[in-house]
Amino acid sequence: MHNLKITVPSTEQEWAPPRYCVVVPTFEERDNVQPLFAKLQAVMPDRGWEVIFVDDDSRDGTPEAIYQLMDQHFNVRLIRRFGRRGLSSAAVEGMMATAAPIVAVMDADMQHDEEVLPKLLQCVDDGADVALGTRYAQNGSLGSWAQSRALISRFATVVAGRVNKNPVTDPMSGFLAVRRDLVVELMPRLSLIGFKILLDILMSSPGKLKVSEVPYHFRCRTAGESKLDVNVSIDFLLLLLEKKTGRFIPARLFLFAAVGGSGLLVHLLLLRLMLSFGLSFVVAQSVAVAVAIASNFSLNNVLTYRDRQLRGWRMIGGLLSFYAVCGIGAIANVGVASFLYFGNERWWVAGIAGAVIGAVWNYVASSFFTWRR
Ligand code: GDD
Ligand code: MN
């Protein structure tokens, strides 16, 4: 028997669950997180809200800067993820970690105008499913964003606008508030690929959503760098593809097929070139095949299997195994095609069937042998 009781130093105020949660995904934002929190404090009430940073293993001292905030403020939290990247999945993981029924997502780099944040939260409080900050409405703008970035954004906005059944003026916005329950409900349908969580939510909802839009002027980033790169653009296209095909075509298979198509092009171009230099057909065809396979290997390595990307010496082994896989694929191709052809099938049916069998083999076998988990 003992009387030991755990005592916690009394806080100034009684604890109550927050009503609002601001999720801030971070990747290398050391110099932004503290100024951002100060801005949030300036526009939010004293109590009833929290901020959750979701950091993907930043090495620049971002987590340490957030711990400093946590030492001083009761309403700051941090989720650290390792071995994973992605703005959309980080945003949703933050949303799932709060007691607050109303959640917002905001960039750490202060490009989103914090003055608009309370309005977004209020809209959802007033009954909207989703509220977004828009740059494409009266009293909204892209600010002095670089021309090239503005152009890409406009283009993506048009593309997204065409395929989205819950149309909004700024589907590419990453500044939003939403009912947490809606996200929980949509969870099995969300793709969580890449950067565009708002678009993912809008396109995943089977029904019409109640959406509010609040205009704001997009600001320029002052500290740190943008993480937008080619991968982010590919993720955007994959997100649209997956949403439109209802996941019928897995993104990976689609990429593999596209790379295969590019290989055919490389093959024909090289063949033509070498023939024009007077090489014998057999030599030219052999070299073209070898180069096309190597080209397919490198593209698949950086695109289709970039989550299992082979680097350094492992690329050599990977290339050799890919040659072996494709060699067997070619034998299967010719075998099946000949079998059908001599069984009196039409020549083009036999040819296509052989090619499809070969491609499917290459896809399945390379995911097992070349880019095994
Ligand atoms: N956790 C995590 N993981 N956060 C990330 C990652 C990641 O892999 N990549 C980027 N972030 C964080 C950044 O630290 C930043 O807080 C925010 O996501 C936006 O990243 P930026 O690199 O600044 O992107 P941007 O300026 O090109 O685009 C943003 O602004 C657009 C306009 O509102 C994105 O938020 C878009 O979604 C948004 O539409
Ligand atoms: Mn940014």
DSSP state of 178: E
Whether residues 321 and 191 fall in one domain: no
Residue 98 makes CB contacts below 8 A (sequence gap 6+) with 18, 21, 23, 50, 52, 180
Same domain, 89 and 234: yes
Pocket test for ligand 1, best of 26, 106, 157, 227 (most atoms within 8 A of CB): 227
CA 32 to ligand 1 centroid distance, Å: 13
Question: pLDDT for 282-316, tens place per residue?
Answer: 999 999 999 999 999 999 999 888 878 899 999 99
pLDDT value of position 3: 66
| Assigned domain for 194 exists | yes
For residue 229, name the pLDDT band (cuts at 50, 70, 90): confident
Across the strands, what pairs with 103? Answer: 21, 178
Residue 216: pLDDT over 90: yes
Shortest CA distance to 320 belongs to which of 290, 299, 300? 290
Tokens of 115: 């003055």
Chosen domain end from 245, 260, 276: 245
- Domain-located, residue 15: no
**264 assigned to some structural domain:** yes
Residues 109 and 218 in one domain: yes
Measured in Å, residue 226 CA sits from the centre of ligand 2 at 5
Residue with tokens 């048009």: 158
CB-based burial, 192-203: b 16+ in 10 Å, e otherwise: bbbbbbbbbbbb
- Using one digit for the tens of pLDDT, what is the confidence trace for 85-131? 899 999 999 999 999 999 999 999 999 999 999 999 999 999 999 99
Q: Which two tokens stand for residue 249?
A: 């075509």
Average pLDDT, the chain: 91
78 has which bridge partners?
Answer: 53
Ligand 1 atom showing the smallest separation from residue 54 Cα: 1
Three-state DSSP at 226 gives: coil
226 lines ligand 1 (CB under 6 A): yes
ipTM for the predicted complex: 0.96
Mean pLDDT of 259-280: 94
- Ligand 1 pocket, residue 171 CB under 6 Å: no
Question: Is residue 4 in a domain?
Answer: no
Q: Out of 229, 245, 261, pick the residue that ends a domain.
A: 245
CATH number for position 107: 3.90.550.10
The three-class DSSP label of residue 78 is strand
> Who's near 126: CB < 8 A, 6+ residues apart?
none
Give mean pLDDT, residues 140-154.
Answer: 88
Within this chain, do residues 123 and 230 fall inside the same structural domain, yes or no?
yes
At residue 138, the pLDDT reads 87
Q: How confident is the model at residue 247 (pLDDT cuts 50, 70, 90)?
A: low
Q: What is the pLDDT of residue 265?
A: 96
Q: How far is the CA of 60 from the centre of ligand 1 (A)?
A: 16
Q: Give the separation between CA 321 and CA 108, rounded to whole angstroms.
A: 43
Last residue of a domain, one of 245, 279, 298: 245
Q: Which domain holds residue 341?
A: 251-370
Residue 79's DSSP bridge partners are 54
Do 266 and 291 form a contact (C-beta atoms < 8 A)?
yes
Q: Is residue 8 part of a domain?
A: no
The type of residue at 211 is V
User: 272 and 222 in one domain?
Assistant: no
Atom number in ligand 1 closest to CA 228: 27
Position 215 in a domain: yes
Q: What is residue 279's predicted lDDT score, i.e. its pLDDT?
A: 92
Instruction: Give the chain's end-to-end CA distance (angstroms, integer).
Output: 53
Do 325 and 362 lie in a common domain? Answer: yes
Distance 255 CA to ligand 1 centre (A): 24
pLDDT at 183: 97
Task: Quote the pLDDT of residue 244.
Answer: 82
Q: Would you state the pLDDT for residue 51?
A: 98
Residue type, 181: D
In a shared domain, residues 233 and 292: no
Ligand nearest 200 Cα, by number?
1
189 lies in a domain?
yes
**Whether residue 111 has its Cβ less than 6 Å from ligand 1:** yes
Q: Which stretch of DSSP H or E encloses residue 217? A: none
What SS3 string covers 277-301?
A: CCCCHHHHHHHHHHHHHHHHHHHHH
Given the CA of residue 55, which atom of ligand 1 is nearest to it? Answer: 1
**pLDDT value at 12 more than 80:** no
* Biggest distance spanned by C-alpha atoms of the chain: 97
> What is the pLDDT at residue 9?
60
Does residue 340 sit within a domain?
Answer: yes
Burial level of 315, CB count in 10 A (0-12/13-18/19+)?
Answer: middle
Are residue 234 and residue 298 in the same domain, yes or no? no
Q: What number does the ligand 1 atom closest to the CA of 175 have?
A: 33
Kindly state whether residues 338 and 231 are assigned to the same domain.
no
Number of domains in the chain: 2
Q: Of all residues in the chain, what percent are helix, strand and coil, respectively (each to 5)?
A: 55, 10, 35
- Other Cβ atoms within 10 Å of 307 Cβ, number: 10
Contact (Cβ atoms closer than 8 angstroms) between residue 101 and residue 180: yes
- The verdict on 54 and 196 lying in the same domain is yes
Q: What token pair was written down for 299?
A: 């593209």
Q: How far is residue 54's CA from residue 67's CA, in Å, rounded to a whole number? A: 12
**Can you tell me the mean pLDDT for 36-52?**
96
Q: Do 272 and 240 share a domain, yes or no? A: no
Place of tokens 């939403």: 178
Q: Considering only CA atoms, which of 94, 78, 96 is closest in space to residue 86?
A: 94
Q: Which amino acid is at 73?
A: H
Q: Which two tokens stand for residue 251?
A: 């993104």
pTM: 0.80
Q: Ligand 1: distance of its center to the CA of 24 in Å?
A: 9
Judge if 229 and 272 occupy the same domain.
no
How does residue 162 score in pLDDT terms, banded at 50, 70 and 90? confident
State the pLDDT at residue 230: 83
